[in-house]
Structure formats: structure tokens, C-alpha cells
Structure 1
Amino acid sequence: MTRNLRARSLRIAVSVAAAPLALAAASQLSAQDSAAKTDTMMNEQVASYDWVRPQADYIRREVMIPMRDGKKLFTVIVMRKGTHDGPILLSRTPYNAGKMSSRNRSQKIEEILPVMDADFVNDGYIRVYQDVRGLDGSEGDYVMNRPLRGALNPTKVDHATDTYDTIDWLVKNVKESNGKVGITGSSYLGFTSLMALVDPHPALKASVPQSPMVDGWMGDDWFHNGAFRMFGFDYDLSQTVKKGGGSVPKGTGDEYQAYLDAGSAMQYAKAYGLLDLPVVRKVLEHPSYDAWWQGQAVDKLLAARKLTVPTMLVVGQWDQEDSYGAPAVYKALEPQDTNNDMVSLVIGPWRHSQVNYEARELGPLKWEGDTGGQFRRNYMKPFLDCHLKTNAPKCDTPPVLTYATGLVGTMDGIKGGWEVSQKWPAGSYTPLYLAGNYGLSWSKPAAGSDSYVSDPAKPVPMLPRPVHMQGEEWKTWLVHDQRFVDGRPDVLSYTTGVLDKPVHIMGAPKVELHASTTGQDSDYVVKLIDVYPQENSANPELAGYELGVGIEIFRGRYVHGFDKPQPLEPGKGYTFQWSLPNVDHVFLPGHKIMVQVQSSLFPLYDRNPQSWVPSIMEAMPKDYVKATETVQYGGDAASAVWLPIAGN
């Protein structure tokens, strides 16, 4: 029996020892079989991969929403898992909805959406991004800033109808929503947020257009007061070309020289093959403020309708692209707002679209905390909450919200940071006169004049050369130190004495410039500047700094009306009037106020040839001539910048 037990134990041990070998052999055979199956020349591409994994803390849906003409628009719907009874926050974009809603391939909702979305989706909002008609995933034809259906758009669809149809589908098909929709976005998305207000869907309860494109001729992307913004060619190319788009292939050198060598806007467009772009041809064919431009002006379109959707208009004080639109719409709609609760205006200390990012600084300027986050959490979200949430909190939206720049803390009763006002402008207009000896005076000075020679062959640059109108330089050019042109013979600089008390301005400074030229046309650029003390140990970077508070141009041929270009009579005095951007700024004691006058701002704006040509767009090399510009001051021709001074 003992021998049998030993033999049995031995057989068991051998069997156990052999098991791994048998399994390994079987596994190897299985692998060989599998390899044999995949070693064939099969197509290794698979149809798709769902990068939103089951462990994701959100739901992300991609849908095609039908429009009334049968076209379908690509739409992405994102919400945190467990969302119910949630408000919908919509953005309609030409910048790829798929990419905007997948910032990172993460399983965390805050990581895939833009920074500004976190506060909303974490509080039950449903975030929706949609490609506008004809771009990226959406069907149909793309038209830049598609006009409202009518004289300029013979079709039955526009951004207003597309938004209506989108909202109608969302409230019927997104079961997690409470049936209330808000719309927001910046720049082009600000434009679509405004167009949604034309015959709006009943479920649209609030709109927050940020830096909206409103009037491309008066003061947004393509022109400012008649002067053409050359950088628009890059945008046109990137937006309207399916293959080979991007920036104009002019190299990476000095853009000042590249535009100077090309000549006029038409010559530049020809040199780089841009006349094949319909949008470029349209702009070149409409150099003046004709019916084509006026018919697209969103502020005019909205002023002709009753505002039924509460709207918060947002802009940056140093918005380098669309400074005009939001204040223009506010001015157009505010007369309807008899209870001061339907339309509000926000001006933050930002560049273009910086409201949607962390905004602690702009160039050398530092703010008290993240002003973008402060606005979104403390003002924008409460505004949307009170209009969109179920059992909503009471609305307490400031009629006007601005950020006082130039001052940290409080001085003489003036407090830096966020300020609430009941109307805009909030200051009383007071003239600051140009005076003799390149001074500025609060009282009208004796009559006199100063002159300079404007040479189109040597235009005043917008930035120190080499000029690059992209990246950080472009984002912050409006706050660049203006000492780089102070002292040029073709730039007049007028300065106050050292201020002994703060000067707080709240509104858009107004220019009244009395001037004449020896040419037949001229541009005039006026800069309102805060001159910092030469000694500034608290902030050495700003010692002697000449900070542009407001910079704007006016094309002389439009002195009789923007739709009536006429040659200027050489030697005749004219009164040119226009506005600088809206600001809330404090000039501190120890600082000075400066006003600079010049006749070019290149290459941001095309050069004025200073001889008469029917269209400056088509000027030829022989048309560009020197001219002597004379600025009058005092007496009956008292040039001034009218400042909206608070507390006066």
C-alpha cells in the first residue's frame, strides 16, 4: 500500500508539473493561430474609435440637426453625467465645433471643454457647440457673416433661422434639458449670438454676445472709419479656403516691409492670388459705407426690432479686433430698455476674447486677480442663471459693468476694479484742448497751429519694427509703449503738466480735430495716452511708459459723410470728428495725459496716397505723394479730445 501511495503521489506531481507546460504550449499554438489569421494583407484601418470611454464623467453626443431647407448642421452636445432639468448654453461657431468641444482627449469634462465652460457644466448646464452652415461638419454654403435674408440674401436661411431651427430641435430632443436656452460666444460667435435675437425662438431666454462683429466698415474687422485693415486678408484666406488656406504666404519677416513693397490693397491681393476669394473681391468692390455695408450692420438690424431677449453685451477695453460692436449695439438698443433691465454693457480690461481665459494681466498691466474668471462667476453666470434655471434666482444684473484701469485700490473716492453704473457713458464730456508749445489745456488756448510732413513711403508703424501682426504682439499692441514714435517728425505729441489730482474717464473720448492738408486726401490718427512718471520704483517696467488708452483712425475723404467720399481742398481747414474706443480709466496724480496726432498707422491700416483716387484700394505707385498736414488749435479752430470725466 505504501508503494502504491508513493506511485500515485509521483503521478500527481508529474501531472501538476506538466500542466504549465501544456498550458504554455496551448497558448503558443493559440498565438500562432491568431498570428496566422492577422499576418494576411488585410486592411488594418478600422471605421472609428470612441475616445469617450465608459469611465468618462460626461456625456458627449454628435448630431446632425436639420434646418428648414433640408441642410443639416453638425452639433456637439456635452453635459456632466447625471444632468437633468439643465439649461442649454449654445455657441454657433466657424472655428470647428468638434475641436472646440474636445480641447483634450480626456475623460474629465473640464479638460475637454474651453476654460470658460467649467463653471457652467459643473452646475448642471448642457453645453452645445455647432458648426455654422457650410463649415467643418455642417452642410450647405458658407458665406462670411451671412447677411439677414432679404435684399442682400435672397435665400430663405440665415443665422437667425439656423439658430431658431437649432433651438427648436434641442428643446425637443435633449431630454436632460429644462427647455430653456442661452447663447454666447466671442467675435464671430458674438455675431451669431446677436443674429439669434432677430425673430428669436421662444425658448431663447438670454444672450451674451462677446466682442461681436457688428459693423465691418464702421469699426470692427475690415475698416475703421473708412481706413482698411490689411490684416483682414489673412482671416479671409483662413476662413474661406478648403485646401491651402491659412495666412497669406508673405514669409515670416517684417510685415511692414511686405505690405509696403506690395503697394495698395488691390496690388497686394493680386500679388498673392487673393482675388480668387469672393469675400476679398466683395470688400475691394465696396471701399465706402454704401448700402451693402449698411444693410449688414447688426446694430441697425436690431434697432429696427423690439428686443425680447435679455442681452448682456461684452467687450474688452483694448480689443484689437472688434472694439466697436458691443457699445454700438448697446447704444442702439438702450432706448428700448425703459426699465434698465433688458440690455446691459460690460467693458473689461481685456484684449479680444480674453474674457474667456484667465485674465490677470495684459502686456505690462497687472490686475487684481483673474478678471475673466471674476466676470464669468460673479456676473455672467448669475445673469444666465436667473433667466435659464428652473426655480431661478432673482435677477440683479448691473445695467453697466466696467473695470477701472490705471488704479489699484482707492484714491480720492475713486476705486479701481469693477464698477457698476446706471448708464453709459457715465462721465460728462469735458474738452482737453491742444495748445501751443505742444501742450494740453483745460481752457481754450490762443490760436495757433503745428505742422508735419506725412510721407506714404515712410508710414508711421503700429509697432516697433520688425512688425508681426500675430501672436502676443498682435494681442497686446494697443497697450504697447508709445515712446517708440514719440519724437518722430511726422508725429505731434501734446502733453499736460503733471496731474495733481486723478482724472477718471468713463465713456468713449471724442476727437474734434481741426486740420488741413496740402494733398487731396489724408488720414488722421489720434492716440490718448497715459504717461507714467519717469521714476517708478514700485513698478520699474512702467517707468516713463506711454500707455495707449485709446487709439483710432479717421479717413479724411469721409468728412462729409461715410457714404460720400470727396477730395479735400488743399489748404482748406476741415473739422474731423470721431470717437476713440470706450474706456473706464483713471489718470493718476503724478502722471501726464498725452495726445498724439499722426497720419498713418501701418501696416494695420492701408496707406492713404494723399492724392485723390476714386478708390484707395486701387491706388498705384504714382498716386502716393508727400503732404504737409497742419493741425489748428485755439480760437475758432480749437482742436480737442473731449473726455467723459466721471464726477464732473
Structure 2
Amino acid sequence: MIPMRDGIRLNTIILIPNSATPAAHAPILITRTPYSAAILTTNSQSSHLGSSLFGYDNAIDVIVDGGYIRVIQDVRGKYGSEGDYVMNRPFHGPLNPTPVDHATDTYDTIDWLIKNVPESNGKVGILGISYDGFTTLAALVHPHPALKVAVPMNPMVDGWRGDDWFHNGAFRQQNMSYIYEQDGSRSNDLRWWTSNFDDYDMFLNATSAGELGRQRGLDQMGFWRKVKEHPAYDSFWQNQAMDQILAAQPLTVPTLLVHSLWDAEDIYGAMAVYKALKPKDTATGTPNEKLFLAMGPWHHGGSIDDGSTLGAIRFNQDTSLWFRKNVLGPFLARNLKDESPDASPIAPVTVYESGADIWQKLPSWPAVCTEAPNSVPAAQPCATPPARLYLQPNGTLSFTAPASANSDFTEYVSDPMKPVPFRARPIQPVCYDAGCTWANWLADDQREQSGRPDVAVFSSEVLTKPVTISGEPIANLIASTSGTDSDWVVKLIDVYPDEVASQPKMGSYQLMISADIFRGRYRESLSTPQPIPANTPEPYRFALPNANHVFEPGHRIMVQVQSSWFPLYDRNPQTYVPTIFEAKPADYRKATQHLYHSPTQPSYIEVPMVTVP
């Protein structure tokens, strides 16, 4: 029970390998978690370290082979730790008047460890996934001098822009169960319950997320009330955005950001932090370089799981094992074991190129310029401006701008009483237990959606040469709605050939490469929502998640556009109301949607395309 500066004690489990003694010191590797230190360290009754560690957050092979002292701590207010729990506790300031936060708790913990663990060599590293990635980032705010390395994996960074709670204003209502269980009790004893086998039915029957929250008793929980009180990107969310907090700090600790290209939970965070911190790495290109990035073809936390498949997608290797052996293990060793950088060389950016199934080592990211010239430098010559993939009449897609005004728009009707499922029904809740498939849903086949009348589909001709994208696609829609609010979902898809000889079930498979949602009321301001003028073409511009992918010859490129992604995201009533959390049944109305693709009103996706020789 390690004491903090305010007297609160935090439950901390310390596992010391036999190889570490007061005469043969070893580094400490710490994780701070709200998910029970006891569970993560008592996987079995074995006396062997590897058998004791539970898989979540434990890169077991790296920890055991590296001989690290393993420390896992319950954050304040959870499980064995004293104090009160606050979801993603803000840093000391306007949102937290107390003198303690995750940065001070980490500092105090490290200070105690190096003074009270005689087997330690005085060097500490911190790593963690998801929420524990957030606590890893927090350690970089006024870090302890003994902190020598940080590895935030799939970290929660900005809960409104694109991580757990919202994506561009659309609320991720399937995470209500997480809020209920995580914020409801110290030991997650309160369990969310369902009224339907299919989450689609449960959320549809409740009408709004706010009403379902009332039915389940969520209004008793502080974080849920904060979510409902702040549906827009106001100071509550802005002041908690970790990328902006870290951008105001000096970068002094070597940091390896780990990003999953198919992360169903925190696909925004790691890349936002990289973009914010890269300009601060004044030692770029030298042995003292501080910021590193690894991107793999994984689901959330997949870098410490089996990385040979992603749902139905197979790779030619265990990509996660390759990462741990060639990136994570050497990176920790060079910073915690007095090894020289030359003994464990790490590329500034290590990224998997899906489609081609190869690892790439790059000097920086993105590999192709998609932003202003003063942003992150490109690793390769830029495609300037980015290539534009235009929506065309008759459901076609090409890199050539529309030339005919014969068909100005594509029309579909969005019915909130029959929202588009984000995956095949029956839809499972968010879960990671045996039999759960939630983690891989971003790699689900999109064929079912492409056959719906309320999904606009645009497809290229069969490719005769590879098309490689490397960076952040940006959706640029000119669209109108007969309602006064609307959501826009854009999906960039790789369509496999009709027959795939080695994998027959992959014939015509539609694999999402990058996709996201945007709530139309925020088209002019993320913090100040406004109704959409009915039947008026309006521009909508928003970024899609980063991709590093080759569309191979014989494949086609597809773009799907729709106005619901249910029940992962709450339904837009398509009638403007002050807060969708309080929308009533009468507010949900059909709307006729137009996607424009004329010479004067083109819709397109900016794609960071690597030019093929």
C-alpha cells in the first residue's frame, strides 16, 4: 500500500524475478490500472512469473525474457486502492481542484519504488493499453527522473474527437455498459444487464441513450451525468485532451506510441499524440531521438495477442510476435538496461503495410504529405495535393473529377426506425470473453451493408496496378438532407477479387480500410452545434483514421456512405433537438439524403496516395 502525497494509499503488487537481487539489479516495469492488479498478477498458482501474469496489459514474453521487476498498481478508488475514483481523472486545474492526479500518483509511486525495492537498478519504465495507456501518458506530465521509458498502447486520449465516448459528436452508446460497471463500484461488482439477445433491439426499443441510461440507473453515476451534460466539444473535453496536454510539456522521456490500424475503441489517440509531440522531438534523426511510433494490423490491444489473423483476414506471420521481438523488446532494453542505441536499433516509425503484408521502417509519419507544409515532415516525396477519389454518377468511383452534370446527386432515404447495423445481426455487446467477436468488427465483411437501399455505394473499376495509401484519408462531402440534423458515415473499402484461390471464403470480401462518422450539427463548430438548413447542399470535411494499405491489382476500391451506424452510435433523430440524449420518439423522422457529385459540387475522399512508378 504505497502512500501518495495526500495520504491515500494505492494497492501495488510487485513481482520480482529470481534473477533480480540486491547484488544483481533489474529495471522496474510498471502499469497503473483500473482493472485489478490482483487479477492481472494471479493468473495461476504457479511460482513462475510468466504463468502468474494475465494476458491483458502483460506482454508476457517481453517481461519474462527481459528479467523485469513487474509492478501493477490499482489506480485510486479502484479495487484495493484507497480514495475516490474519477473516470479518466483530469489533471489538477479547472476540472480537478485537488492537488492529486494520475501524474502525481505515478511520480509518488516511482519515488517509493526506487527507494524501497533493493533489487531495482533505479530505472523505471511504464506501459499500458487503453485506459492504462492513458495512465502511461499521464506519467509524462512532470515525469519522475527515474522514469526512463514509456510505451502507451492504444491510449485513451480524447474522448470526444475519436476515442471511447464520442466520434466527431456521435455518441458511442454501446460503451454505456463500461461506464456502468467501471464507475458504479470500486470492484466492478455492479453488472450491466441486457433486455435483448441482440443489442440492436435493446437500443432501438429504448429510443435514446439518455432514456436507456435512466432505465438502467446510470443517472446515479457521476461520469454518465458529465457525458450527458457535455454532448459538444466544450472545455470539459478540450481540457482533458491528452494530446494537447502533452503538447504543452517538454518531451524528455523516450516514448514508443503503439497504434492498431483496426482499433475498435481508441483509434484516434496514439496518432493524435504523435502528431502533437513530433515537432517537440528536437533530437529527431539522432541517437537521442525521443519519439517512436509502431503501427500494426491489430485490433485494440492486439500487439500483445496473436497477430496472425484479424477476424477473417490472415497475415503471412504473427505480426504481434514480430513487433514484440523486433520493436518492443529492444526499445525497453535500450532504455532500461544501459544498452547503447546501436545495440538495439529501432526505426523512428515501424508500420505494417496491409495488402502487401510487409513491415516498413520509416523516418517519420505520414509517409505521404496530407497536411500543411509545416507539419510532420514526409518520409517520401509527397503527392501534392493529395489524390482525390471522386464519387461519380451511377455509383462509380475514380481519381478523375466528375465531368457531367447529367446526374448531380445520389439519393437515399435514411429511416431512424431502421438504422443501418454496424455489423451483422444479432449484434453482441462490447466484450472480450470467449466467443466474443467485438474486437475484430472493423474488419467485418461490408457486403451486407452494400446491399441496403439506405447505403450509397461507389466502386472503382478493377485495378490493373497497385494503389498504395499511407496516411490519413479525409472525407469531403457535399450533401443535403431533408431534415435539420444528420450523421454521415464514410467507409473506404478494399473489395477482393471474385475468387481468392487460397481462401475461397474471401471471394468479393469487402474489407474496411478506414471509416468514421461525423454528426452534421457540428459542421461549422465542434463546440457550438447548429441545425442543418433543410434541402441545402452543405460541405462536410472530416478526417478518417490513418491507413497504410495496398489495394492490389484485381481488387477494387469502394466508398460507402450512410447516415447511421447502429447501435454502436446513437441514432440521429434527423430533427434538430438541443441534445440527442433527450430526443423523444416523435423527433425521429425519415430524411432524404443527397450526395452531390457534379463538376461544381464534387464529393471526394482525399487519399494520401503513394505514387506508383
TM-score w.r.t. structure 1 length? 0.87
| 3-state DSSP of counterpart to 1:208 | strand
Partner of 2:203: 259
Is contact 1:267–1:618 with CA below 8 Å preserved after alignment? yes
The alpha carbon displacement at 1:645 in A equals: 1.3
Q: Is 2:66 the counterpart of 1:66? A: no
Distance in 2 between residues matched to 1:67 and 1:508, nearest whole Å: 41
How far apart are the structure 1 equivalents of 2:305 and 2:125? 20
Distance 1:517 1:252 in 2: 32
Task: From the superposition, tell whether residues 391 and 490 of structure 1 become closer, same or farther in structure 2 (CA, over 3 Å).
Answer: closer
Query: Following TM superposition, by how much is the alpha carbon of 1:391 offset from its aligned partner in structure 2, in angstroms?
Result: 4.6
Question: Is 1:286 matched up with 2:230?
Answer: yes
Deviation at 1:110, TM superposition (A): 1.3
Alignment partner of 2:416 out of 456, 465, 479 = 456
The SS at the match of 2:173 is coil
In the alignment, is residue 426 of structure 1 matched against residue 426 of structure 2? no
Partner of 2:352: 403
Cα distance in structure 1, aligned partners of 2:25 and 2:248: 35
Higher mean C-alpha deviation, range 387-396 or range 224-233: 387-396
CA distance in 2, matches of 1:417, 1:246: 44
Which residues in structure 2 correspond to 1:424-573 (within 5 Å)? 424-427=365-368, 428=383, 429-446=386-403, 447=405, 448-471=408-431, 472-573=436-537
Match of 1:27 in 2: none
Q: Do the aligned partners of 1:185 and 1:193 also contact (CA within 8 Å) in 2? A: yes
- The match for 2:12 is 75
State whether residues 107 and 139 of structure 2, in contact with CA within 8 Å, keep that contact through their aligned partners in structure 1.
yes
Question: Counterpart of 2:552?
Answer: 588
Give per-residue Cα distances to partners, 1:287-332, cap 9 Å, x unaligned.
0000001010000100111111111111111000000000000000
Q: What is the alpha-carbon distance in structure 2 between the residues aligned to residue 573 and residue 609 of structure 1?
A: 19
Q: Is the 8 A contact 2:66 2:333 kept in 1?
A: no
Structural mapping, 1:98-177, within 5 Å: 98-115=38-55, 116-177=59-120
Query: Shift of the alpha carbon at 1:127?
Result: 1.0
Q: Does the residue aligned with 2:450 lie in a helix, a strand or coil?
A: coil
Q: Work out whether 1:377 is the aligned partner of 2:301.
A: no
The amino acid across from 2:49 in the alignment is I
Whether the 8 Å contact between 2:473 and 2:605 is mirrored in structure 1 is yes
In the aligned structure 1, how far is the partner of 2:148 from the partner of 2:492?
39
Superposed displacement of residue 345, structure 1: 1.6
| Residue number in structure 2 paired with 1:201 | 144
CA–CA separation in structure 2 for the residues paired with 1:245 and 1:493? 45
Q: In structure 1, how many angstroms separate the alpha carbons of the residues matched to 2:14 and 2:194? A: 39
Q: How has the CA–CA distance of structure 1 residues 496 and 480 changed in structure 2, closer, same or farther, with 3 Å as cutoff? A: same
Aligned length: 577
Counterparts of 2:418 and 2:261, CA distance in 1 = 30
Gaps of 5+ in 1: 1-63, 408-415
Match of 1:86 in 2: 26
| Aligned mates of 2:73, 2:216 — CA distance in 1 | 32
Deviation at 1:246, TM superposition (A): 5.0
Q: Say which of 87, 96, 111 aligns to 2:36.
A: 96
Provide the residue aligned with 1:31 in structure 2. none
Asked if 1 retains the 8 angstrom alpha-carbon contact of 2:475 and 2:543, the reply is yes
Distance 1:389 1:634 in 2: 61
Q: 1:119: Cα distance to partner? A: 2.5
- 1:368, CA displacement in angstroms? 2.3
Matched to 1:214, the amino acid is: V
State the one-letter code of the partner of 1:273.
Answer: G
- SS, match of residue 564 in structure 1: coil
Q: Is the counterpart of residue 298 in structure 1 residue 238 in structure 2?
A: no
Q: Which amino acid aligns with 1:95?
A: Y
How far the C-alpha of 1:578 sits from its partner, in A, is 0.9
Query: Could you tell me which residue of structure 2 aligns to residue 210 of structure 1?
Result: 153
Paired residues of 2:243 and 2:272 also in contact (CA < 8 A): yes
Name the amino acid aligned to 1:160: A
Conserved in 2, the CA contact under 8 Å of 1:228 and 1:605?
A: yes
Displacement of 1:263 in angstroms is 0.7
1:354 equivalent in alignment to 2:302: yes
Contact 2:34–2:74 (8 Å) recurs in 1 = yes
- Which residue identity is paired with 1:402? V
- Per the alignment, in what secondary structure is the counterpart of residue 80 of structure 1? coil
Which residue in 2 is equivalent to 1:646? 610
Q: Measure the CA separation in 2 of the matches of 1:73 and 1:529.
A: 46
Distance 1:469 1:616, change over 3 A: same
Corresponding letter in the other structure for 2:597: Y
Q: CA deviation at 1:369?
A: 2.2
Q: Following TM superposition, by how much is the alpha carbon of 1:584 offset from its aligned partner in structure 2, in angstroms? A: 1.1
Structure 1 residue 173 displacement after superposition: 1.0
Q: Once superposed, what is the RMSD of the aligned Cα atoms?
A: 1.3
Deviation at residue 252 of structure 1 after TM alignment: 4.8
Question: Which region of structure 1 is more displaced relative to structure 2, 244-253 or 515-524?
Answer: 244-253
2:278 counterpart of 1:329: no
- Could you say what secondary structure the match of 2:571 adopts? coil
Tell whether the 8 Å contact from 2:66 to 2:329 is kept in structure 1 after alignment: no
TM-score (norm 2): 0.92
SS of residue matched to 1:459: coil
Whether the aligned pair in 1 keeps the contact of 2:39 and 2:54 (CA below 8 Å) is no
User: 1:343: which partner in 2?
Assistant: 291
Distance 1:119 1:466 in 2: 38
Residue 295 of structure 1 aligns with an amino acid whose one-letter code is: N
CA contact (8 A) 1:178 1:390 kept: no
Q: Is the 8 A contact 1:237 1:245 kept in 2?
A: no
How big is the shift at 1:392?
Answer: 4.3
How many Å separate the matches in 2 of 1:245 and 1:507?
42
Q: Distance in 1 between matches of 2:31 and 2:558?
A: 41
Q: Which moved more, 1:214-223 or 1:366-375?
A: 366-375
Aligned to 2:377: none
Aligned amino acid, residue 35 of structure 2: Y
The structure whose Rg is larger is 1
Give the % identical residues: 50
